[in-house]
Amino acid sequence: MSTANEWNIRQILEVMPHRYPMLLLDRVLEVVPGKRVVAIKNVTINEQVLQGHFPDHPVVPGVLLVEGMAQAGAFLMLHEMPPEEREKKLLYFTGIERARFRRPVVPGDQVRYEIELLRLRLGTCKLKAVARVDGNLAAEAILTSATVDR
């Protein structure tokens, strides 16, 4: 059971347009509306992409870490919208800046996405995003997105 400020996978699916295998959030731990979100992704050997990246040494591709950070940011933006408005909107990437990858993420890791809203203006947002494993920085980036009609 989730706490008042924590969202389980069923609740995440009510907010997010993504579905398996592209949904990269397993739980949202914290949301401070208009400010920040913390979410997690549990990485397992069963991830489709790990069957080929790399079969003898599976590593989560950096681009999927960025996507996970972006999805956490999208949750921050979308969860505040009323359901009838949310159903009519999507968030599209408009920019990725200063992306850096600091350590490999492998099966068994739990990725913690920490996203801070830097700016929100006219349907666009700028986010500071980090991904951590066991408290250690795995990836970071500045992300921008725009809200568009479906």
- Residues carrying an active site annotation: 53
Task: Enter the tokens of residue 29.
Answer: 């731990």
Write b or e for each residue in 88-125: b if 16 or more Cβ atoms lie within 10 A of its Cβ, otherwise e: eeebeeeeeeebebeeebeeebebbbbbebeeeeeeeb
Q: What is the sign of the dihedral through the CA atoms of 85, 86, 90 and 93?
A: positive
